[in-house]
Amino acid sequence: MKKQTFFSLLLGCVVSLGGAQLATAQTAASATAGTSASGASTGKDLAGSAALSPNHTTLLKALQAAGLAEQAKGAGPYTVFAPDNAAFEKIPAETMATLLKPASKKQLAKILSYHVVSGNVMAADLKDGQVLKTVQGESLTVGVQGGTVTIKDAKGGTATVTQPDIKTTNGVVHSIDTVLMPAK
């Protein structure tokens, strides 16, 4: 049951990212001081936002292929490191095609759950060298240098947080530029 909840959260993060981007665009358009993409809030839970992020359509496709798209509610709180479209483009096309096939559903679900940690973890709370346990069961290592947050996966790959602290009512989302890969 817990796995269904965080998968739902991951699906919701795709939806919520669109809402946060919309809120950010509206804020910029109205020239309200002190508000940026960092710290944007959708004002909704991860599954309830109406807009889809144009930068996370591949993540949504992966969630659908993993059979997770129908589970649209999650209690949280969870922190999601959400790969953007460019992150998925770094994966060879033939590998992505294989992962999106029904026979790879379980492997894809394992990769996606590797991007989720329990709790509400804001970017400012992350410390250099900190180890985060994912709901998938493996660990991620945080790097913080000069205000830039990176996440190192079990295979030595590193993702940079490109849009931090997208707040929702049941978690927080950090958009990243690389798909994180578990050891197993």
pTM for this predicted structure: 0.80
Which pLDDT tens digit goes with each residue over 55-78?
888 887 887 788 765 443 466 788
Q: 14, 56 in Cβ contact below 8 A? A: yes
16 contacts 47 by C-beta, under 8 angstroms: no
When pLDDT is cut at 50, 70 and 90, the band that residue 166 belongs to is confident
Distance from C-alpha of 150 to C-alpha of 128, rounded to nearest angstrom? 9
d(CA 130, CA 110): 22
| Residue 11 confidence (pLDDT) above 70 | no
Residue of 114 and 72 predicted with greater confidence:
114
Residue 86 has pLDDT above 50, yes or no: yes
Which range has highest mean pLDDT (18-27, 40-49, 67-76)?
Answer: 67-76
The interaxial angle of helices 57-65 and 2-30, nearest 10 deg, is 160
Is residue 10 scored above 80 in pLDDT? no
CA dihedral angle for residue 23, residue 76, residue 129, residue 161, rounded to 10 degrees? -20
Taking the C-alpha atoms of residue 167 and residue 119, their distance in angstroms, rounded to an integer, is 12
Is the predicted pLDDT of residue 108 greater than 50, yes or no?
Answer: yes
